[in-house]
Amino acid sequence: MFSLHLSLKTRVYLVNAILLCITLVGAVLMVWYTYKIEKVFKNIISRNVMIFESAEAMGTALVNQKGYVSYFFQDGNQEWLVELARYRTVFENKLEEVKNHVEEPWEKKAVGQIENDYRLYIAARDEIIELYKKGDKQKGFNLHQSVRQSFFKILDLCEQFKGFHKEKIETAIETSAKEANRLRIIVLMAIVSVTLLSLLVNFIFARHIMGPIRKLISQVDEDGTGRSINEVDALQRGVMGLIENAEETHQKLKQSQESLLQSEKMALIGKLAAGTAHSIRNPLTSVKMRLFSLNRSAALSNNQREDLNVISGEIVQINKIVENFLEFARPPKLVTKLMSPSAVVDSAVYLLEQRLRSYHVNLKIKRSGNLPETLIDPEQLKEVLVNIIINACEAMENGGAIIIREEAGEIDPQRKADVIRISDNGEGIPEEIKKNIFDPFFTTKEEGTGLGLSIAFNIIHEHGGTIEVQSKQGKGTDFIITLPRKVNNEKE
């Protein structure tokens, strides 16, 4: 026995395609039958009904003509002849209408016969009227008896013509009724076919889709809630739970990798710092004290004093580098308190007011309200903000704008967070160096130490948060600080 093996997707698509074809064919047939029925009724209205009404009007006008002639014969009043002339015009106009619309040869022959007989009848009737006008009523009466037969003959021809077109109208109505019945049969067949195919689709979905879905639900139903009324919702919840777990695991793994990498860097630098820090700082302190004593006691020329000041400045710079080096090597120890990060932002901006003016930078803070209170180290968080803002100022040589946006966010669906976004409109960071900006000793400044952003990374990481950078060259830079909301000192 021939067996056709099709995939589930192919079977569903095939049944849907058949349903679509049946629907389209049914729609096309209905439209076609609609136009066909419309054409039938259009033919009835535009031709047969008009001819029928004209033939009926001709018969009525002919009967009225005979009546007004009889009235004239009775009392000789000339007004009856005026009415006679009016109905004669009506008859002739309707006759012309019929002549303009008849198409079949027998119709033209019948209309021609009516017209010829009418012309003869009119001529004989006019002769009788003239005899009555001259007073020869007896001769007119005798002639009127023979003309009467012509009247009935013309009237009978009009009735026959009218009756034929009435029959055509009835035939057209019967035809439209047959076409309507045929359309009903087609629609009924389409309904039956669509119903059967729908049952087939339901069977396929019940056996080949819903069955496996229920098995899958039972496998992903970790919370033991059992079977849900809506299987798709239950499956979605199960899959979303797996996705959330995977995403959470991925985030934790990513943070662990970053922490491990940064820890390795810090460990390497810490070893180096432990062996060299005191060896560098002690001689520097001695040199600094000697220079200070020499500057006060010796009689130096202006050039010598200027050289001495340059040496002192360079010693201060070396000492600063050593301090940054040691600060980076030692993981930051947080002294946390419960407060809003918005207060730290305001404090950092207030601290840098003079610096911002000197760089010709306009700074704006956009917030809908203060961020919720959380456990933070305000001094170290302020150090991060100050470092980022100063970097932004230095990136805008000719001045510019900095916007600090505060908003609520989340680290994952279960943990809320406070987000601080610092945006500038400087030149931006080239793509090739963006991934290195948090590395220790990486800097593009001639006098920079390359430790500022590394220290900022460590501080934010110690808070359990993240710091990210988004930048396009020529369009500015965004630093996004995400701090988890905490109300106690539990590690997350």
Q: Is the pLDDT of residue 492 over 50?
A: no
Distances (CA, A) of 271 to 55, 108, 320: 121, 121, 19
Phi, psi torsion values for 426, nearest 5 degrees: -80, -160
The reported pLDDT for the residue numbered 440 is 73
Question: What is the DSSP code string of 395-444?
Answer: H-TT-EEEEEEEEEEEEETTEEEEEEEEEE-SS---HHHHTTTTSTT--S
462 closest CA partner among 383, 371, 369, 409: 383
Q: How many CA atoms lie within 13 A of 274 on its CB side?
A: 7
| pLDDT band of 480, cuts 50, 70, 90 | very high
Distance CA 484, CA 127 (A): 120
Phi, psi torsion values for 479, nearest 5 degrees: -105, 125
Beta bridge partners of 401: 362
| 184 token code pair | 């009903």
Angle formed at CA 68 by CA 67 and CA 71, multiple of 5 degrees: 90
Which carries the bigger pLDDT value, residue 444 or residue 367? Answer: 367
What letter does residue 464 receive in the DSSP assignment?
T
Residues comprising the chain, all counted: 492
The reported pLDDT for the residue numbered 2 is 46
Distance CA 57, CA 74 (A): 26
What are 400-410's pLDDT values in tens digits? 899 999 998 87
The reported pLDDT for the residue numbered 282 is 66
What are 90-144's pLDDT values in tens digits? 888 888 888 787 777 877 887 888 888 888 888 888 887 887 777 777 777 777 7
What are 327-355's pLDDT values in tens digits? 655 656 788 899 999 999 999 999 889 88
CATH code given to domain 8-205: 1.20.120.30
Architecture of domain 332-492: 2-Layer Sandwich (3.30)
What letter does residue 2 receive in the DSSP assignment?
-
Q: Is the pLDDT of residue 489 over 70?
A: no
Q: Is the pLDDT of residue 448 over 70?
A: no
Highest mean pLDDT of the ranges 18-22, 418-422, 472-476 = 418-422
What mean pLDDT, rounded, does the chain reach? 77
Which carries the bigger pLDDT value, residue 67 or residue 251? Answer: 67
Angle formed at CA 333 by CA 331 and CA 337, multiple of 5 degrees: 145
Long-range Cβ contact pairs of 183-187 (< 8 A, separation 24 or more)? 183/29, 183/30, 183/33, 186/26, 186/29, 186/30, 187/26, 187/30
Element holding 471 (H helix, E strand): strand 466-471
Which carries the bigger pLDDT value, residue 425 or residue 301? Answer: 425
Q: What is the pTM of this model?
A: 0.41
What are 146-177's pLDDT values in tens digits? 777 778 887 888 888 777 777 777 777 777 77
What are 191-239's pLDDT values in tens digits? 787 778 777 877 777 777 767 777 776 766 655 554 555 555 666 666 7
What are 203-213's pLDDT values in tens digits? 777 777 767 77
The reported pLDDT for the residue numbered 289 is 74
The reported pLDDT for the residue numbered 438 is 80
Distance CA 273, CA 328 (A): 10
Quick one: CA torsion of 228, 229, 233, 235, rounded to 10 degrees?
40
What are 244-289's pLDDT values in tens digits? 777 777 777 777 677 667 666 666 665 666 556 556 766 777 777 7
Element holding 201 (H helix, E strand): helix 137-204
Distance CA 186, CA 36 (A): 15
